[in-house]
Amino acid sequence: MIADVLLLIHFGLAAFVTIGFFIIPIGYSLGWKWIRKRNLRLLHLFLIGVITIETILGLTCPLTFLENMFRDVDYSLSFMSHWVAQVLYWDLPSQVFIFLYSTCLGWVLILWRLCPPIEKIKEVY
């Protein structure tokens, strides 16, 4: 059960990072104020930065490590966890991930320049 919860959290973080690549420039061009929130953008930058560094160093993601530890090598997944794992874990060489994550990190840094966050958003009621 704990491993399934960790897998869903992991999937949620991966979805947040991935969706951010697209929603930031779209939301910026549409004038969505929440897209420019600095803390949201810092979290996005931090997560893709950590993912990229882990991959370059050849480290296993802590969430993957914990999930595997709680599964105790008994990879009997629930139906939902099986499909979430299929989407989340790809069996490709590490060089592919280094290139992919480095490219994504570069894109996030470009977005900081093209769609800059702001310090504070004035709330208007």
Q: Report the SS3 class of residue 118.
A: strand
Res. 24: pLDDT tops 80 = yes
Task: With respect to residue 120, please indicate whether it lies within any of the assigned structural domains.
Answer: no
Residue 121 confidence (pLDDT): 56
Number of domains in the chain: 1
- Residue recorded with tokens 């969505």: 32
User: Mean of the pLDDT values across residues 77-92?
Assistant: 66
Q: Does a structural domain hold residue 7? A: yes
Residue 58 pLDDT exceeds 60: yes
Average pLDDT over residues 38-62: 91
Residue 122 included in any domain = no
DSSP state of 122: P
Given a cut of 70, whether residue 118 has pLDDT beyond it is: yes
pLDDT, mean of residues 51-70: 86
- Check: pTM over 0.85? Answer yes or no: no
Q: What mean pLDDT value characterizes the chain?
A: 84
- Other beta carbons less than 10 A from residue 56's beta carbon: 13
pLDDT at 64: 83
Tell me the β-bridge partners of 118.
37
In-domain check, residue 125: no
SS3 letters across 17-72: HHHHHHHHHHHHHCCCHHHHEHHHHHHHHHHHHHHHHHHHHCCCCHHHHHHHHHHC
**Domain containing residue 66:** 2-114
Residue 74 lies in a domain: yes
Mean pLDDT of 67-74: 73
Domain assignment present for residue 119? The answer is no
Asked if 11 and 77 count as a contact pair (C-beta separation under 8 A), the reply is no
Instruction: Give yes or no for residue 78 having a pLDDT over 60.
Output: no
- Helix pair 2-29, 79-88: axis angle to 10 deg: 50
Q: Among residues 101, 96, 107, which one has the least CA distance to residue 53? A: 101
